[in-house]
Amino acid sequence: MIKAGGKALSAPLMGTDEEPTIFELSKSGRSSYSLRNTHVPPRELSEIIPRDYLRSNHVQVAEVSERDLVAHFTRLSHRQYSVDLGAYPLGSCTMKYNPKICDEVASMSGLANVHPGTPSKYIQGWLELLVDLERSLIEITGMAGATLQPAAGAAGELTGLLLMRAYHSANGENRTKIIIPDTAHGTNPASVTLGGYEVVTVGSNERGLVDKVALAKVLDSQVAGIMLTNPNTLGLFEEEIVEIAQMIHGVGGLLYYDGANLNAILGIVRPGDMGFDVVHLNLHKTFATPHGGGGPGAGPVAVSKRLLPFLPGPRPIEISPGNFGWQTPEKSIGRIHSWHGNALVLARAYAYIAFHGSDGLKKVSERAVLNANWMRERLKDSYPAAYNRPNMHEVVLTASKLAKSTGIRAIDVAKALLSMGFHAPTIYFPLIVDEALMIEPTETESLETLMALCEALEEIVERAKIDPEGLHIEPQSTPVSRVDEARAARKLIPTFDARDRVLQGG
């Protein structure tokens, strides 16, 4: 195929606007495999699979050689950023480097090659691992028991809400409201709605914590519970959490702990000791699995003693010393996911916890908190903290001062960082902070990396004073330059031929 201008459409055009898509490389009749003649007569697909199971319309599939196919996806992988390439300072996501020993454990044949449906007597090792992992998680959280089934944090949220509903229903109550602070994790409102509850938002006080006066005004007999992220998404610890727990329990409600920020408190304080009834853990954030990209994840839910009878089942248990099997709680809400959950993610988390031990997990949190506070202090003149007080594992800065003086907003700062070789932090979240830059350096980044990131952020401020227009067109060194976000939102073309349609004025 020859493109306009006479240039051949070929693979070496990587990293340019002319780099072809897999469909543009396609040539009718070309295949990525070639089988020897087996003398087996060809058959129509409909002769093998009933027509009811076949698509009625033709699906366009690229026809390319194996060489072009492998080259295409390898080139795409080279254009991606990852936790193995550099720091991911995304706030509220804990995108940290993960030890390779955890991947090695998960790839052991005795774990990776076992079919999920294998009878329990043949997978005693797997079941023992799951039981030990649950014991570790309830020790870390201070809870009574847990389910390992939920596939990620959002699934854990829904599971926790269903457990709350089951508990209240068993007590003959049909409660309708869940309270969510405006500093909660971003997925909470959607989970509450999906769980069939009404969202009741409560605001923050001048210190960035739950406003107890506002909380008291919304408490009544219809409150099923409250969903709290602690530390909250401002990176601040809810110092009055014991009083909040007493207020919620006082009206018969339950406390739900969003474990998105568990990386800040490992070995230091436990949600169960704060008064929480339900805790979900993002194992893929806190314990060793690369986070992001759609999964796989693991979102176990730990509960207090009164919610144990409602846990999803079946659960892995130790039936007698050294003998493991499955058991379903008497009032179980049913199955949330397959019995084992995302088992290999659980195996990675188990390896991470065993490798670090209790003292190591505490150091994880201590160093994460130290790194975040170091960055807050270093950047205080360029990007002041939204709440100028000691933070936990992440810090929310604001570019509002920069925006007012130069016109350079948080999004411009984030785009410029991409050109400088850094992944951007979270921006415009939490929503209650103007021009928010939410940074979580995690415990895995060296002081030199943090210094380089801070220098890049400070350089952007200096550049904003002399060349603001240049920052408005960043990034310039990435495979895809700045897009028109408003146009993309209104006229999105989610197909492989988007480039040609745009060039043609579509």
Give 242-279 pLDDT, tens digit per residue: 999 999 999 999 999 999 999 999 999 999 999 999 99
The answer to whether residue 500 scores a pLDDT higher than 60 is: yes
Cβ count within 10 A of residue 297: 24
Mean pLDDT of the chain: 91
Placement of tokens 């070995």 in the chain: 267
CATH number belonging to the domain at 100-356, selected among 3.30.70.260, 3.40.50.1010, 3.40.640.10, 3.40.50.300: 3.40.640.10
Contact 238, 216 (CB under 8 A): no
Q: In residues, how long is the chain?
A: 506
In angstroms, the CA 396 to CA 233 distance is 8
Shared fold status for 100-356 and 359-490: no
- Judge whether residue 11 has pLDDT over 90: no
Whether 394 and 440 have beta carbons less than 8 Å apart is answered as yes
Residue 320: CB partners within 8 Å, gap ≥ 6? none
pLDDT tens digits, one per residue of 93-132: 888 988 999 999 999 999 999 998 899 999 999 999 999 9
What's the pLDDT at 2? 44
Residue boundaries of the structural domains of the chain: 100-356, 359-490
Which pTM was predicted?
0.89
> What is the C-alpha R_g of the chain?
26
pLDDT at 1 over 50: no
Instruction: Please tell me what DSSP assigns to residue 19.
Output: P
Residue 14 pLDDT greater than 60, yes or no: no
% of residues, the chain, pLDDT over 90: 70
Does 223 have pLDDT greater than 70?
yes
Please state, in angstroms and rounded to a whole number, the distance separating the CA atoms of residues 69 and 63. Answer: 9
What DSSP line would sit under 464-475, residue for residue? Answer: HHH-HHHHTT--
CATH number for the region 359-490 comes to: 3.90.1150.10
Q: Is the peptide bond before 231 cis (omega within 30 degrees of 0)?
A: yes
- In which residue are the tokens 């769980």 written? 195
* Residue with tokens 């990386």, as numbered in its chain: 263
460-to-50, 97, 435, 485 alpha-carbon distances in Å: 61, 26, 15, 22
Q: Which amino acid is at 321?
A: P
